[in-house]
Amino acid sequence: MSLIDLHLGDVPDQEPVPAGEYTLRVANAELRNSEKTGGQYLYVLCEIEGEPNAFPVSHVLMFPSVQDDEVTKNNRLRRIKKFIAAIGLDPTQPFEVEDLIGQTFNAILDVEESDDYGTKNRIKRLL
């Protein structure tokens, strides 16, 4: 088979979707450590349902650290709690990171410009 037989000219580019409400599915989730602070965070990569040519949407949830003040600590915990509830898990029950994969949730997406990544979507608000 020749590469020309793949009809590569017909393959659409990935692009961000317009701002608005979408259903997202967690494609991958993993714990990572920040290179800047050393703090741990949950990295979630989501696909936008019904949008096969959309860029995936990444979502970062920082864990509290020992140097956080009470306000920062509680804000970080609230963001995690809200995300876990949005995907339909009980935030009062233990869960594994792998439990997140495949879960769906609704969110309002925004479009933003990034020097590193170009135009991309970000989660503006969980529904």
pLDDT tens string, the chain, 127 residues long: the values are: 566 677 888 889 999 999 999 999 999 999 999 988 889 999 999 999 999 999 999 999 999 998 999 999 999 999 999 999 999 999 999 999 999 999 999 999 999 998 888 999 999 999 9
Pairing state between β 104-114 and 118-126? antiparallel
Tokens of 91: 């935030």
pLDDT at 4: 65
Among 62, 75, 55, 58, residue whose Cα is nearest residue 31:
62
pLDDT at 14: 95
Give the count of beta carbons closer than 10 Å to the beta carbon of residue 76: 18
5 phi and psi, to 5 degrees? -70, -10
DSSP 64: P
